[in-house]
Amino acid sequence: MNINRKSFIKSSFIASSAFLINVPILATQKTNNELSKQIKITDLKTYVFKKATFVKIETDSGISGWAEGDHSNPKLVSKVINDICKKEVIGADPFDTELLWNNMFFKGEDVGTQGVLTGAIAGIDNALWDLKGKILGLPVHKLAGGNGLKKVRVYGSFGRTGGPNGIRTPEEMGKIAADFVNQGYKTIKARMQIRQLNIDPDPDPTFETIKAVRKAIGDDVELFVDFNNGYTPSRAITIAKKLIEHFNVAAIEEPVSYLNYQGLNQVVEALDIPIFAGEHEFNRWQIRDLVTIGNADFINADLIKAGGFSECRKMAFIARAFDKYIMTHNTRPTLATAASLQLCASIPNAARVQEYAGQRIDLDLSNLFKDYFEFKDGYLSIPQVPGLGLTVNEEEMEKNKLN
C-alpha cells in the first residue's frame, strides 16, 4: 500500500513536471536554468597593478566574470587568491556563491578573518556576481532583488595625502573641494588621514584645513569630515564640536581608533550629528560589534575589502535591524564603484548620499575599461547592463598588469 502510494505520488510528479516543461511560456526560463546548471568554472586569473587587484573568472560556457578585490597590498591579495582561494573555485558551479564564500573564508581563516583574506574573497565573490549576472542577462541588483533605485547622489571624497609635496596644504584642499562643487556635487567629504600612528597630532591640521575647505565651497554645500582614526575620544569630541560650531560640519567619520568601539560609542553619545564608521570592518561579525557596541549611525561597508557583494549584503541586513544606513566606503572609480552601486540598488537601507572620489586620474586605471559610469548633477546612475556594469578592456589589462 505504502509502495503503491509512493509510486502514485512519483508518477503524478513526473506527469505534472512534464506538463510544466511543455508549457511554451517557460521555455526561456528552462533554457536559462539548464544553461546555468551546465556551467563550470574553468580558471581564475588575477591582474595586479600598483594600487589595484582585478580578478577574472572563466567558465566552460565562454562567459567570464570580472571584478575588483582589495587594492591595498595587491601582490599579497593576489597570492592569497591563488594559493588559498583558487582551489575552492575551480570546477565549481558559479551560482553556488554561498558555498564558495564559506569554503574560502573558513578554510582560509588561518590567514586572518579580516584584511587580506576578505580582500581576496571580495575579488572572487564580486566576479562571481558579475558572472551570474552575465549568464542570466541581469544587472546584479536585479539578480539579488532590486529596490527600485535608479540613481544615487554621491559626495565628493578627497584626502590630505597626495599632491606634489605628499601632504596637501589647507589651500590645496580648498581647491579640490571647490572643483567638486563646480562639477555638481552638493556634498563633499575631507579626509584628514591622520591615522592612529599619529594620534592626537600636534600641531593639529584639522581646524585650519576645514576652515579653508568651508571658505572655498561657501555656506550651502554639505560638509563631512573624516578623522581617519586620528583622535582619542575626548579630543575627537572637542575638535568635532569646534568644527560643527565654526564650519557647520554635518557628519564625522571614524573619529577614533577602529579598535576602540567603546570610545566610538563615547563620541556618538556626545555629538548630535551622525557618525560614520565601518571601512575597517571586514565581515558580518565585526559589523555586529560595530553596531551593538560602537553604535555608529552610518556603516561604511567596503565592497572590495569586506568579503564582496555577498558579505556586504549580510552587513546591510544586520545594520537594517538597528536602523543604520549603509554608506559604502568607495574611493575608486572602477569595479569597486560598480559593485557599490549594485549593492545600493539591492538593500533596504542605502544612505541617500554615497561616497565617490571622482574619476581619480592619479590612479591611472581608466584605460582598463571600455565604458564609464553615468554621472549627472551630482548623481551616479545604477548600471542596468548584465553583471556589475563596467566593461573591462582585456587587452589593456593584459598589457599593463604587473604579474
| Binding site residues, Mg ion, CB under 5 A | 226, 253, 279
Say if CB 177 and CB 218 are below 8 A apart.
Answer: no
The least CB distance from residue 235 to Mg ion, in Å, is: 18
Between 134 and 191, CB nearer to Mg ion: 191
As measured in angstroms, the least distance from the Cβ of 157 to Mg ion is 8
Which element (helix H / strand E) includes 133? Answer: helix 116-136
**186 or 195: whose CB is closer to Mg ion?**
195
Residue nearest to Mg ion (CB): 226
Q: What is the nearest approach in angstroms of Mg ion to the Cβ of residue 230?
A: 11
Q: How far is the CB of 255 from Mg ion (least distance, A)?
A: 11
Helices of type H across 321-393: 335-344
Contact of 377 with 153, CB cutoff 8 Å: no
Nearer to Mg ion, 55 or 188 (CB): 188
Give 68 or 253: the residue with its C-beta nearer to Mg ion.
253
User: Of 279 and 311, which has the nearer Cβ to Mg ion?
Assistant: 279
Nearest distance, CB of residue 379 and Mg ion, angstroms:
22
C-alpha cell at 306: 569586506
Compute the least distance from the CB of residue 189 to Mg ion, in Å. Answer: 8
| Closest CB to Mg ion among residues 68, 279 | 279
User: What is the Cα–Cα distance from 288 to 319, expressed in whole angstroms?
Assistant: 8
Amino acid at 118: T
Q: Rounded distance, CA 296 to CA 236, Å? A: 14
Closer CB to Mg ion, 127 or 296, in the complex: 296
* Closest distance of CB 331 from Mg ion, Å: 8
